[in-house]
């Protein structure tokens, strides 16, 4: 049935007001991000860095709209930052020293997403006089995260973005970045200038698409390595943007795109095909399923298993081309299907997909956030359709007839869900006790784990430029989601966590005071984990580089109720690549606040490794208790028992805190998708897809632009002369039929073992500097005495 007008008004009123709850399982107001959070990463214990595309945000910096900001965790306030080039749909990754780097983006644009005022001969934007953004398609941008103790006006705290010095060898938009064991980064695929999917239709040129596809890979730093074609990208032509890539224990890489999967030796460029994705479900953009690596633990010998959930099983012809989808995607239900894959089974058997529990509802643009307790939060997304935006489809020719503005998805899913990878099949998903957000988080939304183990949720902007009056507007409101463990009255307060974690070598001790837990000390010690957790670089429902690695440990229960953890270093750089990570100590399912550390030596290059330390046997002490509940600790010296290595304590069930009573308002979010989908006319998909009823006229409570009226709020921004849509590259999803190799910038030929150098095609040195441009004359990365940013 239709959502009653009175209920719709309640939903809209709630959506326009901050969410103030602070209860476990709920959302709270996270302030205003100033720019829409298309990309985010945790820079340090204080700051989250946010990137948008170049667009008409009201927030200004240096006389032009801002498309970057830094959000303070303590104050929940954002400050604008200046970025030179258009970061639209870039990729990103951490560097070994704690810096972050973004790759590629879009050409320069101006008001309404139109091509920049200064154009290349082939038509894309080089620069725009109003927005003052440069072409970002080859850009490499580096940020040194700073804290409140630093001078944020210093160049060392600002984005470095100078493509005349630092650039990729090819133009890449929607590319994938994955860190390697030496700290360098492989960049996979991408569009040259944009579109809905990475192909023309019919697809007669899958390798080049007339110059619009970049089905190649390169490295950063290049270290003399050139660009090579990747046959897998040609095979998966069209649905290969933001391919899922995960470094494996062997040093090879799992890559998944379209419905194909492979193990890739990126050094030799050799591909080993694996089985196709079952049920024809596409997980990559714009299907945008939730994909993540399950926690790596001593119990599974840190052997990766990937989890793929949601996305879309639309038939191939429905995806259309660069221009737009062939069908009205917002009518097509997203998939609930989940599959597990262990690419390198420990028993030597052939890798195979294994059907997992279906999600509680279908989701496109759902995003996995690995939590410190080893469970996985899925958040954001929609019930129907895909990522992306457009002004038309193959079935709807006029923007005025698009029922959800430019959005190609409908039915926002406001209720998160939690997946427990260790629960029995049939019991892995739950949303019990989880509140529902009233803010639609669709295309260009993002989420990231914070050091206090809450989750920052932000963004959503399925629009060509800023549009605050359409159905799914440009979103600046942030939220904090508090997972169920926030119901605990006491959190662990460990001491002794080091600033750096090595690969093998001497163990270290962490102390947990008796005041950090209640109940039996023996039980708490046996139910304690120490994990390295890297949230990654989040964009487009992905967290590139996200990993959870549990460190081996034993323990000694002390007579005063404190627990000494004897902790091994990280296993090796294939299991967790060098760079920044949070250390969480979790006791009885309740995590500590994370401590930021550097894993590895902080330098790009072969990481020093050593054999793992032999940990002492665990020591139990009977009748000793924690004092978190006010109980006394028996110091009379109970019976001591030796327990070899304590491994069993890490594989047992985790005892969590009791979740407080929460008023669940999920009905509103669930009904919204049904209501919004009933707008104009009957679904063209036939009886097979009956979950979305026929489209009828909707209530005028949603602001819509009449046919021919431009792009809602963007029209008001643009003024009288604005075109309703861009007529080129990304925003209009129009294929560009040309050779897109740009001669504007020289590609990086940096060497891993010497200072960064760029060379022009003739071999003349143009600029010489460290690959980390903040080195400022003194090598920051290529020496062993790297300053630790988290000391």
Lowest mean pLDDT among 11-15, 464-468, 562-566, 584-588: 11-15
Please tell me the total number of residues recorded for the chain in this structure.
791
Q: What is the pLDDT of residue 528?
A: 98
Asked if omega into 286 is within 30° of 0 (cis), the reply is: yes
Nearest to 707 by CA among 328, 327, 405, 326: 405
* Mean of pLDDT values over 97-110: 97
With a cut of 80, say whether residue 451 has pLDDT above it.
yes
Token pair of 749 as six digits = 């030929």
Cα–Cα dist 243/263, whole Å? 13
266: its two tokens = 């990126």
More confident call, 5 vs 254: 254
Closest CA to 356 of 340, 378, 334, 377: 340
What H or E segment, with its residue span, contains residue 370?
strand 367-370
How many Cβ atoms sit within 10 Å of the Cβ of residue 697? Answer: 9
* Measured CA distances, 280 to 259, 343, 378, 442, 754 (Å): 6, 19, 22, 23, 46
Burial letters for 537-561: b for 16+ Cβ neighbours within 10 Å, e otherwise?
A: bbbbbbbbbbbbbbbbbbbbbbbeb
Place 630 in a pLDDT band, splitting at 50, 70 and 90. low
Q: What is the dihedral of CA 144, 150, 151, 157, to 10 degrees?
A: 0
C-alpha angle 274-279-282 in degrees, rounded to nearest 5: 75
Q: How confident is the model at residue 629 (pLDDT cuts 50, 70, 90)?
A: confident
Closest CA to 441 of 404, 403, 472: 472
- Tell me if 195 sits within 8 A of 734, measured CB to CB: yes
Helices (H), 641-688: 647-651, 666-677
pLDDT at 395 over 80: yes
Structure tokens at 468: 């605050």
CA end-to-end span of the chain: 58
Q: How far apart are CA 658 and CA 305, in angstroms?
A: 29
Average pLDDT, the chain: 82
Q: What is the mean pLDDT of residues 661-669?
A: 33
Q: Which residue has the tokens 């590629």?
A: 104
Does residue 723 have a pLDDT over 90? no
Residue 552 structure tokens: 């081996």
Average pLDDT over every residue of 251-257: 98
Partners of 721 in the β-ladder = none
Contact in structure between 367 and 541 (CB atoms under 8 Å): yes
Report the C-alpha gap between 108 and 114 in whole angstroms: 9
Q: Where are the beta strands (DSSP E) in 36-182?
A: 39-42, 47-51, 60-61, 64-65, 68-72, 78-81, 91-94, 100-103, 118-119, 125-127, 140-143, 176-179
DSSP-derived 3-state class of residue 691? coil
**Alpha-carbon gap, residue 372 to 530, rounded angstroms:** 9
pLDDT band at 631 (very low <50, low <70, confident <90, very high): low
Q: Is the pLDDT of residue 750 over 70?
A: no
Q: How far is CA 707 from CA 114, 329, 403, 667, in A?
A: 19, 20, 11, 32
Q: Given a cut of 80, is residue 719 above it in pLDDT? A: no
Higher pLDDT, 774 or 351: 351
What's CA 755's distance to the chain center, in Å? 30
Phi-psi group of 132: left, alpha or beta (phi > 0 → left; psi -120 to 50 → alpha; rest → beta): left
Range with the lowest mean pLDDT among 25-34, 502-511, 655-664? 655-664
Asked if residue 774 has pLDDT above 60, the reply is: no
* pLDDT per residue as tens digits for the range 1-47: 333 333 333 333 333 333 333 689 999 999 999 999 999 999 999 99
- 364 and 289 Cβ atoms separated by less than 8 Å: yes
Radius of gyration of the chain measured on its C-alpha atoms: 26
Structure tokens at 755: 């200072």
Greater confidence (517 vs 691) lies with: 517
Task: Provide the strand spans (E) within 497-629.
Answer: 500-501, 503-505, 508-512, 518-520, 528-534, 537-539, 542-544, 547-551, 553-557, 563-567, 579-587, 590-591, 595-599, 609-612, 618-621, 625-627
Residue 492 has pLDDT above 50, yes or no: yes
Question: Per residue in 175-222, pLDDT tens?
Answer: 999 999 999 999 999 999 889 999 999 999 999 999 999 999 999 999
- State which H helix or E strand residue 732 sits in: helix 729-732
Phi, psi of 209, deg, nearest 5: 50, 45
User: At 650, is the secondary structure helix, strand, or coil?
Assistant: helix
Cβ count near 265 (within 10 Å): 14
Q: Would you state the pLDDT for residue 220?
A: 98
Block residue for tokens 């590139």? 544
pLDDT in the model for residue 12: 36
């Amino acid at each position: 049935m239709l959502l009653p007008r009175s209920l719709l008004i309640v939903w809209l009123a709630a959506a326009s007001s901050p969410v103030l709850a602070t209860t476990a399982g709920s959302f709270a107001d996270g302030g205003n991000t100033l720019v829409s959070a298309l990309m985010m990463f945790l820079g340090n214990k204080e700051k989250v860095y946010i990137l948008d595309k170049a667009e008409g945000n009201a927030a200004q910096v240096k006389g032009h709209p801002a498309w970057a900001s830094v959000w303070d965790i303590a104050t929940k306030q954002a400050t604008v930052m200046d970025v030179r080039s258009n970061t639209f749909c870039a990729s990103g990754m951490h560097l070994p020293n704690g810096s972050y780097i973004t790759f590629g983006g879009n050409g320069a644009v101006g008001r309404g997403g139109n091509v920049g005022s200064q154009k290349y001969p082939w038509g894309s934007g080089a620069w725009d006089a109003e927005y003052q953004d440069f072409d970002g398609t080859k850009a490499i941008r580096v940020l040194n995260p700073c804290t409140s103790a630093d001078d944020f006006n210093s160049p060392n705290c600002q984005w470095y973005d100078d493509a005349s010095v630092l650039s990729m060898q090819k133009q890449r938009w929607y590319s994938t970045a994955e860190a390697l064991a030496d700290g360098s980064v492989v960049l996979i695929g991408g569009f040259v200038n944009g579109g809905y999917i990475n192909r023309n239709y019919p697809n007669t040129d899958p390798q080049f698409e007339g110059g619009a596809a970049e089905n190649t890979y390169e490295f950063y730093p290049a270290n003399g390595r050139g660009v090579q074609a990747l046959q897998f990208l040609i095979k998966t032509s069209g649905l290969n943007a933001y391919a899922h890539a995960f470094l494996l224990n062997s040093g090879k890489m799992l890559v998944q795109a379209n419905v194909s999967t492979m193990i890739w030796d990126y050094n030799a460029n050799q591909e080993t095909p694996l089985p196709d994705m079952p049920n024809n479900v596409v997980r990559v953009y714009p299907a945008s399923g939730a994909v993540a690596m399950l926690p790596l633990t001593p119990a599974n010998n840190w052997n990766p298993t990937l989890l793929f959930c949601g996305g879309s099983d639309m038939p191939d012809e429905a995806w259309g081309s660069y221009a737009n989808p062939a069908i009205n995607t917002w009518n097509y239900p997203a998939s609930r299907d989940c599959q597990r894959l262990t690419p390198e089974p420990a028993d030597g058997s052939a890798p195979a997909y294994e059907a997992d529990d279906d999600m509680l509802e279908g989701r496109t643009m759902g995003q996995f956030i690995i939590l410190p307790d080893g469970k996985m939060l899925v958040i954001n997304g929609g019930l129907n359709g895909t990522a992306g935006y457009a002004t038309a489809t193959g079935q709807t020719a006029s923007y005025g007839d698009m029922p959800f503005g430019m959005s190609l998805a409908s039915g926002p899913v406001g209720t998160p869900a939690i997946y427990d990878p260790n629960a029995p099949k049939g019991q892995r998903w739950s949303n019990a006790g989880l509140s529902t957000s009233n803010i639609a988080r669709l295309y260009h939304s993002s989420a990231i784990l914070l050091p206090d183990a809450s989750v920052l949720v932000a963004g959503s902007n399925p629009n060509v430029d800023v549009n605050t009056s359409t159905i799914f507007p440009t979103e600046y409101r942030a939220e904090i989601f508090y997972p169920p463990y926030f119901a605990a009255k006491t959190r662990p307060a460990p001491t002794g966590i080091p600033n750096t974690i090595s690969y093998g070598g001497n163990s270290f001790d962490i102390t947990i005071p008796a005041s950090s837990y209640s109940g039996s000390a023996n039980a708490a010690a046996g139910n304690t984990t120490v994990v390295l957790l890297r949230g990654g670089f989040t964009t487009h429902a992905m967290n590139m580089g996200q990993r959870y690695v549990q460190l081996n440990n034993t323990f000694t229960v002390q007579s005063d109720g404190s627990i000494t953890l004897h902790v091994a270093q990280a296993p090796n750089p294939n299991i967790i690549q060098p760079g920044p990570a949070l250390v969480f100590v979790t006791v009885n399912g309740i995590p500590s606040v994370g401590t930021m550390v550097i894993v590895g030596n902080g330098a790009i290059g072969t990481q020093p490794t050593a054999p793992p330390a032999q940990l002492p046997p665990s020591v139990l002490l009977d009748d000793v208790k924690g004092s978190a509940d006010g109980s006394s600790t028996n110091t009379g010296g109970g019976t001591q028992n030796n327990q070899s290595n304590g491994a069993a304590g890490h594989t047992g069930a985790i005892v969590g805190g009791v979740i407080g009573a929460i008023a669940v308002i999920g009905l509103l979010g669930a009904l919204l998708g049904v209501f919004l989908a009933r707008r104009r006319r009957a679904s063209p998909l036939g009886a097979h897809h009956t979950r979305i009823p026929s489209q009828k006229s909707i209530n005028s409570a949603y602001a819509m632009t009449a046919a021919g009226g431009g792009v809602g709020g963007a029209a008001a921004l643009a003024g009288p002369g604005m075109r309703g849509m861009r007529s080129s590259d990304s925003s209009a999803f129009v294929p560009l039929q040309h050779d897109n190799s740009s001669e504007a910038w020289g590609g990086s030929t940096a060497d891993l073992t010497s200072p960064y150098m760029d060379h022009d095609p003739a071999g003349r040195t143009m600029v010489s500097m460290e690959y980390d441009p903040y080195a400022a004359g003194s090598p920051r990365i290529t020496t062993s005495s790297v300053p630790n940013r988290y000391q």
